[in-house]
Homo-oligomer: A and B are copies of this chain.
Amino acid sequence: MQIDEEVAKLLALKAQLGDDGKTQFVLKTPKGTRDYNPKQMAIREKVFNTIIRCFKRHGAETIDTPVFELKDFDIAGQYDAMIPDAECLKIVHEILNELDLGDFRIKVNDRRILDGMFAVCGVPDDKFRTICSTVDKLDKMSWEDVKKEMVNEKGLSEEAADQIGEYVSMQGGMDLAERLLQDHKMSQSKQACAGLSDIKLLFKYLQLFHVTDKVVFDLSLARGLDYYTGVIYEAVLTQASAVSAANEAQNCANAEESVSVGSVAGGGRYDGLVGMFDPKGRRVPCVGVSIGIERIFSIMEQKAEASPEKVRTTEVQIMVASAQKNLLEERLQLISELWNAGIKAEVMYKKNPKLLSQLQYCEEAGIPLVAILGEQELKDGVVKLRVVATREEVDISRADLISEIKRRTEA
């Protein structure tokens, strides 16, 4: 699969591992925004915040809105290149987990394994690229059709195509990399062996990161061969499906009861491509990730449409309400205390709003809590805290109110 040009590459992470002993990650987002309604914006903001929070957790540095950079430190001398690669996959895993888009897989392969595989299967050097782009169609076409294209359109021998067919049906983990290192054909390619050793190392780190549940070493992954030079990966959402038979027809060894519903992230190692950024013009090895943020937005919007839950467009935690007339000043005093304690709070601008209309507003706006003030509550030094969803009400002393609100609204 070529790098999906459709997907707005809103966030791209480049990890630059220089032989001059520098490391940096850069995340890029395109300029320009469109106009969205409040619900769409709430979803967009949630996605952005999740991604930015994740990047910051991994040491990201803001260098320009909306560009982030994960700060470099000197790693002169020996370093282990697969560590940042593993961190990129961990970042994708964290983001997709947190966004709760549904089940996903992160397919991993390596440019060198693909090239080595083509070589040992007897693909002529000058056909690597064109055969690779046919392999890349395996997620949309059956193996039979892919083979037909290789043989009939691209002039590959049937024998070579069959050998490729065997390899590209393979999926697994570290075990598969180990098996292929022993494979009588694959082991003839130095390039393939280098790639397979790196895949092994990658999986070792991924195990330490506890993310191997979602990562699959998949020899049919063939994205961006013009671009990437080492490890490549692509995250796809999967969903329970009745078409697993179709999967099996594609010779998937690990055929699952799931089907890909589209790529949402991808990346890989592209050593040398950003050599132009190195002041001395040297080749700078990089790993990167681009997040298909527009596709993620659409999926989140569809999910929100289908869900009975309302998308909240504000983050207000509590409404300060009154049960009787002439309590405007008491409401303003209380809401000021809440604002000063960092609590997101709203109050009706009417002098004497009806309690019912205040409660109805909370239900409509999805505000989870109401602090109700009345003569009795003021006399007792308490606030009636109402949980909007359950309509449960409990008196809380003014002294405990802030910690109680924080406790009840903690994410």
Q: Please report A residues at the B interface, Cβ cutoff 8 Å.
A: 17, 23, 31-38, 41-42, 44-45, 48, 56-66, 69-71, 73-75, 77-80, 83-84, 86, 90, 94, 204-205, 208-210, 313-316, 328-329, 332-333, 336, 339-340, 342-353, 357, 361, 365
Contact = CB atoms under 8 A, between A and B. Distances in A.
Given A61-B313, A208-B333, 9 more contacts: A17-B349, A33-B66, A38-B71, A41-B63, A41-B64, A71-B314, A79-B349, A94-B339, A208-B329
A38 B69 contact: yes
A361 B74 contact: yes
**Count of chain copies:** 2
Contacts of A205: 332
Contacts of A90: 336, 339
With most chain B CB atoms within 10 A of its CB, the pick from A71, A351, A353 is A71
A64 B35 contact: yes
B78 A351 contact: yes
Nearest to A347: B83
B59 A23 contact: no
Given A78-B351, A348-B75, A45 B62 contact: yes
A33 B314 contact: no
Contacts of A71: 38, 313-314, 316, 365
B342 A77 contact: no
A328 B201 CA distance: 12
27 contacts: A33-B64, A37-B63, A38-B62, A38-B69, A41-B61, A41-B62, A41-B63, A42-B61, A44-B62, A44-B65, A56-B315, A57-B344, A58-B345, A58-B346, A61-B313, A70-B314, A73-B348, A74-B361, A75-B348, A78-B350, A78-B351, A78-B352, A80-B350, A208-B332, A208-B336, A209-B336, A210-B340
B365 A73 contact: yes
Contacts of A348: 73, 75
A378 B100 CA distance: 35
Given A44-B65, A64-B35, A332-B205, A59 B351 contact: no
Contacts of A349: 17, 23, 75, 79-80, 83-84
A404 B71 CA distance: 25
A31 to B, nearest CB: 7
Contacts of A65: 33, 41, 44-45, 48
A61 B73 contact: no
Contacts of A333: 208
Given A349-B23, A350-B78, A365-B73, A60 B314 contact: yes
Nearest to A367: B59
Contacts of A332: 83, 86, 205, 208-209
A349 B82 CA distance: 9
A343 B57 contact: yes
Nearest to A37: B63
